[in-house]
A = this chain, B = another copy of it.
Amino acid sequence: MDQNTKDAIPNQIEDMQAEIHHLLPWLIHHGMDDPQGLLRFACPDPSDPIQGQLTSKSAAETKDLAVPEDSMPIRDVINEFYSITRSRVLTHHPKFFSFIPSTMLPISWLADIVVSAANPHLGGRLAGSSCNLVEENLMTWFITKIGFPVDDAVGLSVSGGSMANFMALTAARDEHIRGVENHSRAVIYVSEHTHFSISKTARVLGFSPDQVREIPGLQPDVLAYVIRNDKKAGLVPMAVVTTLGSTVSGKIDPIPEVAEVSREHNIWLHIDGAYGSSIILSPSHHELARGIEKANSVTWDAHKWLFSSYGCGMLFVRNKTSLMRSFSAHSDFLDGSGREAEAEFWDLGLELTRPARAIRLWFILRVLGSHQIGRMIDRGIDMAKEFETRFRSLKDWSVLSPAQMAILIVRFQPEGKDETDIDGLNQRIADDALEKNIAAVQIVRFDGHSCLRMCVINPRLASTDPESIVNAMADIAIDSLS
């Protein structure tokens, strides 16, 4: 066997490298056979379709895109991907207002390109290739912004808010409950705004549904009363979960008052700010997060309101030792060997392999700077208020939940129609607005009605957009009556 035959595999990989070298500039600017190019993917033009259509034909076609036996040309596979994602929902389109929209900026994509090439393993220090130091420094910056004690606290990048909430409540359990035989006595307090990941977490930790108590609005007096009763009954109040910016309406639980109750009763205070923690960075509205510095743990998603692509969440914990107690690789970490000071990332969470998520966020923050980040967050708040003002000025439109944390809920409810008709009209407004590429607004049930919900945080929205979008929706509403 000659050398070429023996080295067919590395030679083929070298050919692949050359092909990629050749393809990349074209791919990025001219998008292969798609005139948009990848930069346009990452930063869509406002005129681009907010949502493509997934036809049953294209759904069926993806079935054929299985793994072939033989190699395929790279450009063919890229074109297949284009074809698949033609039906995509552009959650980072400036006129996408459903769910929590993606606020991804093109710098986030650039960071992904650079970081993915370096392929750092952020599980530990050695393979972390100094990116671990960047993550640690970045987390310290956030810790300072939250107001946690810098020497004791720790931050960790995770895939998202559900993971962060899970880890926080695991740490809370291990702080307050010792021994599996006592788990059935633990109680977690939540409000009606609490994200479903909390009840899922409770189930995964092995708790039964009645160990999670919903206190409406987490009213402090009621909370304190229920806690006292639970203690009397021999139960162990373990954690209170306050929401900083609910997904539906941007609601904020009364954090300072709940913090006081938690302190008094020595209960873990977790703040689920997956969406809302970014308000800390707002020069004009940071007081909405007042009390967050008293928490034991904070969830904060950079892919929500910090302009990152998906998969960039963060968990902050007041005392690093709480996370280590629950997650360190060796259960004897507190053995006085000094190992604690040398904790690796894998000692702080479930993951060993961790992609370098936080480096992307470092790129974004470093390129934009904190002042610009603050202005971009403020812009969302202001734009949502302008949407509210404009909807209020319209005949037959009601504001059911005013702009809070850049989330607004409105409803078109003309006189002389019954509730079912009105629900249908609002659904039709949402459908038509999407079809005409005016806006993606979300139909939600709120106070028993079908309403139109908008989350207005994309910083690329133009100052003329609220007027033009509201007017266009008003026109659709009038048309829908005929």
User: A7 within 8 Å of B by Cβ?
Assistant: yes
Residues of B within 8 Å of A141, CB to CB, are 66-67
Interface readout for A69-92 with B: 1 if CB under 8 Å, 0 if not?
Answer: 111111001101100110111011
Residues of B within 8 A of A130 (CB): 54, 58-59, 62, 84-85, 87-88
B residues within 8 A CB of A160?
A: 351-354
Smallest beta-carbon distance A199→chain B, Å: 7
Determine whether A395 belongs to the interface, using a CB cutoff of 8 Å to chain B. no
Contact flags A346-381 to B (C-beta < 8 A → 1, else 0): 100011111110010011011111111001100100
Q: Which of A131-139, A230-238, A261-269, A400-408 makes up part of the contact surface?
A: A131-139
Distance in Å: Cβ of A32 to nearest Cβ of chain B: 10
Determine the main DSSP class of A at the interface with B.
helix
Q: Are A366 and B68 in contact (CB under 8 A)?
A: yes
Assess the A113–B113 pair: CB atoms within 8 A: yes
Residue ID in chain B nearest A78 by CB atoms: B114
**With a CB–CB cut-off of 8 A, which chain B residues contact A311?**
353-355
The count of identical subunits is 2
A468 lies within 8 A of chain B by Cβ: no
Q: Are B119 and A367 in contact (CB under 8 A)?
A: no
A91 touches B127 (CB 8 A): yes
A297 on the interface (CB 8 Å rule)? no
Mask: chain A, 194-238; 1 = CB below 8 Å from B; 0 = not: 001101110111111100000000000000000000000000000
Number of interface residues of A (CB under 8 A): 145
Cα distance, A162 to B199, chains bound together (Å): 22
B72 and A39 contact, CB distance less than 8 A: no
A367, B379: Cα distance in complex, Å:
44
Docked-complex contact B85 and A120, CB < 8 angstroms:
yes
- CA gap between A379 and B368 in the complex, in Å: 46
Let me know if A159 and B42 touch, CB within 8 A: no
Task: Report the separation of the CA atoms of residues A173 and B204 in the bound assembly, to the nearest whole angstrom.
Answer: 10
Task: Please tell me if the beta carbons of B181 and A353 are within 8 angstroms of each other in the complex.
Answer: no
Q: Does A301 interact with chain B (Cβ within 8 Å)?
A: yes
Instruction: Please tell me if A309 contacts chain B, counting CB pairs below 8 Å.
Output: yes
For window 110-156 of chain A, which residues contact chain B by CB distance below 8 Å? 110, 112-122, 126-127, 129-131, 133-134, 137-138, 140-141
Known interface pairs A16-B107, A461-B10; A353-B159 also in contact (CB < 8 Å): yes
- A-B contacts, 22 of them at CB < 8 A, read A9-B375, A10-B460, A25-B28, A27-B113, A28-B113, A63-B137, A66-B141, A67-B141, A68-B370, A70-B369, A71-B368, A72-B367, A81-B114, A85-B129, A89-B129, A116-B116, A159-B354, A180-B183, A180-B207, A181-B184, A310-B353, A311-B353
- Given contact pairs A65-B134, A69-B370, A309-B355, enumerate 16 new A-B contacts (beta carbons under 8 Å): A9-B375, A9-B460, A42-B117, A54-B130, A62-B134, A66-B137, A67-B141, A68-B369, A74-B367, A85-B131, A87-B129, A89-B127, A102-B119, A116-B116, A160-B351, A310-B355
Chain A residues proximal to chain B, CB less than 8 Å: 3, 6-7, 9-10, 12-13, 16-17, 20-21, 23-25, 27-29, 38-39, 41-43, 52, 54, 58-59, 62-63, 65-74, 77-78, 80-81, 84-85, 87-89, 91-92, 94, 99, 102, 104-110, 112-122, 126-127, 129-131, 133-134, 137-138, 140-141, 159-163, 166, 170, 173, 179-181, 183-184, 196-197, 199-201, 203-209, 301, 303, 309-311, 313, 326-327, 329-331, 346, 350-356, 359, 362-363, 365-372, 375-376, 379, 459-464
